[in-house]
Amino acid sequence: MSEVHQPRWAESTPRGESISILGLDEEDLPAILHIEHRAHLYPWSHRVFCDCIRSGYLLDGAFDGQNLLGFSVVMPILNEWHVLNLCVDPPQQRQGVGRALLRFMIEQARQSKIQSLWLEVRESNTPARALYAAHGFAKVGLRKAYYPAKSGREDALVLCCEL
């Protein structure tokens, strides 16, 4: 974690642990990539994350002290934000980390007068779909064969949250 990081949000998990949300930069790439590779069969590359940072996308991380637990990547487009990646380290999943990142994202979007948040999620990702539904995301479309999968390709649900 870079010395310049300033906490942007703090929240307690259901187990009473404190999570801080901080902005991420290139110094955080090793920790980001570690989580990305642990969490996904088809992870993003170092170059993709660098491109996101250079393009001015919003990268935020959930920390428990010095440890990165999960991160989000959001692409701002005019009056809407597109959630490109919301990833939690597998041992930390279902502990409130993804919820904290999503709540932070929604609050930041509201403060920025953003009208809607958009994302794609694997049709088979039931836990993520439940998290998004609990925070007001609704299905607005389907992208056929969007994600690579072991057995070929998997459809993505397109979700939107109107703010």
Residues taking part in catalysis: 120, 132
Strand, coil or helix: 88: strand
Task: Give residue 126's identity as a one-letter amino acid code.
Answer: T
Which neighbouring-strand residues pair with 74? 58, 83
CA distances from 138 to 2, 88, 106, 124 (A): 36, 22, 14, 16
Residue whose structure tokens are 């039931």: 126
Helix axes 46-54, 29-39, angle to 10 degrees: 130
